[in-house]
Structure 1
Amino acid sequence: MANEISHLCFLCILAAMVFIIIFLKHKKHCNTNKQNLPPGEMGLPWIGQTMEFYKAQRKNSLFEDFVQPRITKYGKIFSTHLMGSPTVIVNGANANKFLLSNEFKLVVSSWPSASVQLMGKDSIMEKQGERHRCLRGLIGSSLGQAGLETLVPKICNSVQQHLDTKWKGQDKISLYRSTKILTFSIVFECFLGIKVEAEMLETFERVLEGVFAAPVMIPGSRFWRAKKARKTIEKMLVEVVREKRMQMEGKLEEQEEQGGMLLSRLVAGMIRGEITEEEVVDNVVLLVFAAHDTTSFAIAMTFKMLAQNPYCHSLLLKEHAEIMSSKRPGENLTLDDTKKMKYTWQVARESMRLFPPIFGSFRKAIADIEYEGFTIPRGWKVLWTTYGTHYNSEYFPDPLSFNPSRFDESLPPYVFLAFGGGPRVCAGYQLAKLNILIFVHFVVTHYDWSLLYPDERVTMDPLPFPSHGMPIKITPKLF
């Protein structure tokens, strides 16, 4: 009898707690309704419109199936409810500028819990204000003029070695998979100075699979596998960082005079007491993901567009033939050579405009925001999208056509956002650019190639990728 009474009391307390939570949420919702919120629909309680969002994401049609219909119905700014949070989605260059330039003032970066746990709470993804600027400065210092000049021959050697070992003697290549292996080794060996060991790429890929999963540690789940892989990576990197510290202790000035790899700069900052070991490890993890997956997709889409636009391919090939004619046999490219690849970079940017490596990103309002006559309440999420400008005829006439000459002239700020914008613009932008330009140079000057699936779909899980891996038929050029 006592047990039954105890059980009944527990149920009553639980029911009361649920009632209080619902009442408080309802009260909060009533208060926000008094504000002039952006128009939109919140969908089901708690779930909101998350399932529709994820369904469109998996099909890589977030803009067409989720955002565009709501723009048509409500306008460029509308509200919804995603992943447990009321969310405002904004579109257009002015909205992008307002949101991204007010980082740390009105909004802060806001990633799902799974992403934070797997990328690291001490990475620049999570850091705010002065701490973000400090860490970003250390990363950016490796990509100054001197750093880039040092990187170019290293990337050239990596690309040549990759083509010699993975492409030579083959008549068919999975371009996306090939470039993932290559860009992964470039970021580790050329930029960080860490030797790539067996199965490292597969371990990092298991982490990536869980960044947007439900953060529930159920054995066998995506997040559980990702968390396990993250611990393996962390253990390996801690050993590398501590060994590097031992090598550099007492030789800091000598290391800095030589410039050094990014890892050397981060460890030097750790020795000086500017950053912690956790910050070094988390930022290496984040950089690897930021630098290789998105770059591989950008390269794949560049080759897709070249295959479908032979005239553009011929113009690009002419640019690279002129660069080759100025080089002695076996002579490496220089940073100045990459600066001559202006048309190639136009082709790459136009490919990224049509197929952005990122859809956009979330921010969280840290104050009530008044914008365009609406109020975005403190605590709400805000999502900006690349497609909001990339596919807008106001900025890009005939936006669905491939036209690299759009980039002959400089574009207005916050229109082309393949690398983000504002204080959080991609820290590895220059590294990605070099990877793309140098890889394109060696492939188009040494191989003829064609797509095996010209109409191959792009899917997303969690980042975009060609559904078949973009297999291409290759034939070595005869010199």
Structure 2
Amino acid sequence: MAIRVLLGFSIPEEDLGHLFEVYQQFVENVFSLPVDLPFSGYRRGIQARQILQKGLEKAIREKLQCTQGKDYSDALDILIESSKEHGKEMTMQELKDGTLELIFAAYATTASASTSLIMQLLKHPAVLEKLREELRAQGILHSGGCPCEGTLRLDTLSRLHYLDCVIKEVMRLFTPISGGYRTVLQTFELDGFQIPKGWSVMYSIRDTHDTAPVFKDVNVFDPDRFGQARSEDKDGRFHYLPFGGGVRTCLGKHLAKLFLKVLAVELASTSRFELATRTFPRITLVPVLHPVDGLSVKFFGLDSNQNKILPETEAMLSATV
């Protein structure tokens, strides 16, 4: 989906399969310690990135040459046009970096955040019910329980303030990636230590969220902390940065938030779901936050009276995310 719909690439199925295998290798090693030794995870990640960028460059050049007959703009088109509007045409390297970042956002990190969202709705039924109340108030869910007919629109999603709080809290407590690297542009001093220009530094998103003084009870899943009455994320800069910050903030953040909101609305309005195992799975943080053996969930469709529609076989209602 990310390759064909978001970026508008026409890549043969065989080549797409190969690129996906390379991409998996890239994701598995993207956050390895930056030690460039033979057979190290860092070296494997760099090699995978080089192969990916070579394939992406070919696809980008073909795309730039074939602009006829399109009646829509994809994410890459918008990125290119936006840079032109600001008086700076993107280089091929910038296009490749931006494309790879969009793919990463559309696949690995979004899958991680989606799983965390489902897990928290399972753990906190009161949050799910409050979300359903908001859907009823906005006419998305009938008082009887069944979803209203019609297309879910962006302006409708923008009115779902509690939904926005839920997504923000998922991203605060369960940020898909631990942090990121930046290059020091100017020598500066931090806590008595001089950080020279040109050095690579790593910042931790999770540690920032855990230690930020603006958040109360940091280990508690509490979407209301982002509500209008409290707005804990409004005090100070860079206390809340699930998508990074500054000029290098995640290019795919709006796509990711939109996807999570639509998923939450669908889950809340069209199904009942429950954990398919006795206990919740153990979580690992590498390469992105995810359950070690997946999250097994049973989904039940709902009739117009919000009653479960039982499938004919057990296999039809089980899913691992």
Per the normalisation by structure 2, the TM-score is 0.74
Contact 1:245–1:267 at 8 Å: present in 2 too? no
Aligned to 2:113: 298
CA distance in 1, matches of 2:51, 2:245: 32
Instruction: State the number of aligned residues.
Output: 283
Structure of greater Rg:
1
Contiguous gaps of at least 5 residues in structure 2? 305-321
Shift of the 259–392 alpha-carbon distance from structure 1 to 2, 3 Å rule, reads same
Contiguous gaps of at least 5 residues in structure 1? 1-184
CA distance in 1, matches of 2:97, 2:172: 29
CA distance in 2, matches of 1:216, 1:371: 30
Secondary structure of 1:324's counterpart equals: coil
Contact 1:207–1:225 at 8 Å: present in 2 too? yes
Secondary structure of 1:449's counterpart equals: strand
Shift of the 312–338 alpha-carbon distance from structure 1 to 2, 3 Å rule, reads same
Matched, 1:283 2:102: no
Q: CA deviation at 1:318?
A: 2.3
CA distance in 1, matches of 2:212, 2:244: 20
CA distance in 2, matches of 1:294, 1:475: 26
Aligned to 1:25: none
Structure 1 stretch 398-407 or stretch 205-214: which is displaced more? 205-214
Q: CA deviation at 1:433?
A: 0.9
Q: CA deviation at 1:477?
A: 1.4
Deviation readout 1:319-373 (Å, 9 max, x if unpaired): 23444248863x321110111222112112112221122222333444442345x
Which protein is richer in helix relative to its size? 1
Deviation readout 1:158-185 (Å, 9 max, x if unpaired): xxxxxxxxxxxxxxxxxxxxxxxxxxx2
Identity of aligned residues (%): 28
Aligned to 1:429: 253
Secondary structure of 1:391's counterpart equals: helix
Deviation readout 1:121-162 (Å, 9 max, x if unpaired): xxxxxxxxxxxxxxxxxxxxxxxxxxxxxxxxxxxxxxxxxx
CA distance in 2, matches of 1:393, 1:285: 30
Aligned to 2:267: 443
Aligned to 1:324: 140
1:469 to 280, 294, 301: 294
CA distance in 2, matches of 1:336, 1:192: 24
Q: CA deviation at 1:286?
A: 2.3
Whose RCO is larger (CA < 8 A, sep 6+)? 1
Q: CA deviation at 1:446?
A: 1.9
2:209 to 390, 393, 412: 390
Aligned to 1:48: none
2:127 to 312, 330, 339: 312
Deviation readout 1:391-446 (Å, 9 max, x if unpaired): 23732222211111100133213221112222222222211110110122122222
CA distance in 2, matches of 1:233, 1:366: 27
Aligned to 2:196: 378
CA distance in 2, matches of 1:465, 1:207: 17
**RMSD (CA atoms):** 3.2
Q: CA deviation at 1:236?
A: 4.0
Amino acid at match of 2:75: L
Aligned to 2:8: 193
Per the normalisation by structure 1, the TM-score is 0.52
Deviation readout 1:72-102 (Å, 9 max, x if unpaired): xxxxxxxxxxxxxxxxxxxxxxxxxxxxxxx
Amino acid at match of 1:288: I
Contact 2:141–2:269 at 8 Å: present in 1 too? no
Secondary structure of 2:240's counterpart equals: coil
Contact 2:272–2:301 at 8 Å: present in 1 too? yes
Contact 1:302–1:348 at 8 Å: present in 2 too? yes
Matches within 5 A, 1:14-413: 185=1, 187-194=2-9, 197=13, 199=17, 200-213=19-32, 214-218=35-39, 222=41, 226=45, 229-230=48-49, 233-248=52-67, 260-265=73-78, 274-321=89-136, 322-325=138-141, 329=149, 331-371=150-190, 374-379=192-197, 381-392=200-211, 394-409=213-228, 410=231, 411-412=234-235, 413=237
